Amino acid sequence: MTPTIRRRLLLLASVVAPVVCTLVLVPWRDHLAPANDALLLVVVTVAVSTAGRRGPTFLAALVSAASFDFLLTRPYQSFRITSRNDLTTEVLLLVVGLIVGELAVRSRRHREAADEGHDELARIHNLAEQIAGGEEPDFVVMSVAAELRDLLRLRDCRYAARPPAHKGAWIDTDGSLHLGAERWDPSMGLPTKQVELAVRGGGRTLGTFLLTPTPAEPVSPDRLLVAVALSDQLGTLLTARRTHC
């Protein structure tokens, strides 16, 4: 299932689930207190929020509030509310739904950041293991190129045994992204058709990774810093091999 289809299904659930829940409650509306009805609709909103998306959660909260107003408060099948208690319950239902949505998004971001940090450490560790295990430099070069393709979501990545030209886009040693003399915001994606990443070792520049970006694919500063760390590890290996030759 593609991400687009998942988003559409989630939006559909954000509308359908509160409406269905409200229709189920209609036969009991004269027996249950409005606050109890509202709590059940909050449960629906919380269920939608587990996907960690702000938009669908907010939509579920709005549809829940509208359904509660239209079907579960007097006068029925009207958006008018004559009871102050019902109005208070309606407002609280909406506010709780919005708060739940925001908390869900923040929780999802923290979870993704933790997962990303774990993956980045794993990349550096795996490369260190290859170097410590005595892998041939050519194999390590291919391994770093593959890691960079995945890390920065590149279309292609290849190594050239020459210094970077620094005429177009390039990644500095501190992980900052530049386009010519200007800094570039990586949240807009990597600029131009090719980005240079220097491979340094022993105080010298030994080569360059030529990165072919995926257009408009955002990249976090942390990922750029990990990319520099990977290229520096390769540079250390290449310098050591040259010293022993």
- Digit-coded pLDDT (tens) for 143-155: 999 999 999 999 9
User: Residue 104's closest CA among 53, 163, 172, 153?
Assistant: 53
Highest mean pLDDT among 85-89, 106-110, 234-238: 234-238
- From residue 181, alpha-carbon distances to 75, 170, 177, 191, 204 in Å are 66, 10, 10, 13, 22
CA distance 58 to 42: 12
Looking up tokens 């190594």, which residue turns up?
A: 159
Burial 207-228 (b: 16+ CB within 10 A, else e): bbbbbebeeeeebeeebbbbbb
- Name the residue ranges covered by the structural domains of the chain: 3-110, 134-244
Q: Is the pLDDT of residue 26 over 60?
A: yes
Provide the pLDDT confidence category of residue 1 given band limits of 50, 70 and 90: low
CA distance 140 to 126: 11
Helix-helix angle 34-49:54-72, to 10 degrees: 160
pLDDT of residue 101: 76
pLDDT at res. 245: 56
Which residues does residue 158 pair with via DSSP β-bridges, in sequence order?
210
Overall average pLDDT of the 106-132 stretch? 82
Tell me which residue of 63, 49, 167, 32 sits closest to 108, measured CA to CA. 49
| Buried/exposed 11-37: b ≥16 CB within 10 Å, e otherwise | bebbbebbbebbeebeeebeeeebeeb
Contact criterion met (CB below 8 Å) for 80 and 90: no
Whether 212 contacts 194, CB under 8 Å: yes
Contact 129, 147 (CB under 8 A): no
Read off the amino acid at residue 185. Answer: D
Can you tell me the distance from the alpha carbon of 245 to that of 208, in angstroms, rounded to the nearest whole number? 22
Q: What is the DSSP letter of 75?
A: S
Q: Which stretch of 39-48, 49-58, 158-167, 207-216 has the lowest confidence by average pLDDT?
A: 49-58
Minimal CA–CA distance to 229: which of 114, 113, 131, 111? 131
**0.85 exceeded by the pTM?**
no
Give me the CATH code for the 134-244 domain, please.
Answer: 3.30.450
In Å, what is the CA distance from 6 to each residue of 39, 110, 223?
A: 27, 21, 26
Has residue 43 got a pLDDT over 70? yes
Residue 20 has which token pair? 């269905």
Residue 197: predicted pLDDT: 97
Q: Residue 49 above 60 pLDDT?
A: yes
